[in-house]
């Protein structure tokens, strides 16, 4: 059974495949996976919705974190 809110489209296969890949590899290798922007946006939306559903509350800080600039890498 697939649960989906009315008016929402199904999750694309590339987004699910990318999330599955992230779950199976180590953190360093995860940074090397770079799907296109639309797949990242879709996967992020899916993860936010999943977390909010299970926590049973809206998480406002997610949008704040998404707008933060990428941290500088230190050698």
Q: What's residue 73's pLDDT?
A: 58
pLDDT at 66: 62
Degrees, nearest 5: CA angle 24-28-30: 45
The reported pLDDT for the residue numbered 1 is 46
Considering only CA atoms, which of 8, 13, 67 is closest in space to residue 43? 13
Tens of pLDDT along the chain (75 residues)? 455 667 777 889 999 999 999 999 998 888 888 889 999 889 988 888 888 888 887 777 766 666 656 655 555
């Amino acid at each position: 059974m697939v649960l989906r809110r009315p008016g929402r489209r199904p999750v694309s296969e590339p987004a699910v495949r990318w999330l599955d890949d992230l779950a199976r590899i180590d953190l360093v290798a995860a940074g090397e996976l770079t799907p296109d922007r639309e797949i990242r946006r879709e996967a992020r939306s899916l993860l936010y919705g999943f977390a909010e559903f299970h926590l049973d509350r809206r998480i406002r800080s997610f949008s704040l974190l998404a707008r933060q600039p990428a941290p500088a890498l230190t050698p």
